[in-house]
Amino acid sequence: MQITVTVNGTEYTRDVEPRLLLIHFLRDELGLTGSHWGCDTSNCGACVVWLDRTPVKSCTALAAMASGREVATVEGLEKDGQLDPVQQGFVACHGLQCGFCTPGMMMTARWLLDHNPDPSEQEVREAISGQICRCTGYENIVRAVRWASEHGAAEHREPAQHVEAEVTA
C-alpha cells in the first residue's frame, strides 16, 4: 500500500506492506536510525517518537497509521544548528551512557517540558516510567530533564496544535 508520512517536516511517500511497523519504516525505509528498537512487548520505549505531537511507541504503531500524519524523531530535535535544551541537558548531566534509550527518552522529555515546563523530580520519573534505561539508573536522566527545564526549555516550546488526551509512551 502507498502511504505518505511527514517526518521532521519532510514528506515521504512509499509503497509498504500493510503490516510494516512504524519503527521499521523509519529505520529501514527512511534510514532514520536514531530511533531504536529494544523489545517485542511495548515495554522499553527505545522506539518513542511523536505521532502528531504525541509520544508513541513506534514499535506498536503501523507505518500505515502514520499516513497523512506528522512524525517527529530525534533527528529533528536540533533546529537550525541549535541543539534542543533537552539534548544539551543530556550531555551536561551525563544523562546517557550507551545512548540506546536516549532518543526515546529525549522525545518524551521534550513533550513533558512542552506541557509542564517546570516538572518536579517525581513528575519526570513518571513521564519516563514507560521507558527502560539499563545504564544510567535514571538519576542523570532526571537531572538532564531538570537541567533542560532550567535552561530555556520553555522558550523552545512550540505552539501545541493538538492537545492530546492520552500519552501512550
CA–CA distances in Å: residue 153 to residues 19, 61, 129, 150, 164: 37, 28, 21, 7, 20
Which lies closer to ligand FES via its Cβ, residue 133 or residue 156? 133
Piece in contact with other proteins (CB under 8 A), picked from 21-29, 62-70, 111-119, 155-163: 21-29
Question: Strand 10-15 and strand 2-7: pairing?
Answer: antiparallel
> Residues 59 to 118: which contact other proteins by CB under 8 A?
73-75, 77-78, 83, 87-92, 94, 96-103, 106
Cell numbers given for 48: 518513542
CA-wise closest residue to 37 among 53, 52, 26: 26
- Residue 119 engages other proteins in binding (rule: CB under 8 A): no
Which residue, among 50, 92, 96, has the nearest Cα to 71 in the 3D structure?
50
> Residues in the site for ligand FES, rule: CB under 6 A?
37-39, 42-47, 57, 59, 96-102, 133-136
Residues that bind other proteins in the complex, under the rule CB under 8 A:
17, 19-20, 24, 27-28, 31-41, 43-44, 46, 73-75, 77-78, 83, 87-92, 94, 96-103, 106, 121, 124-126, 128-142
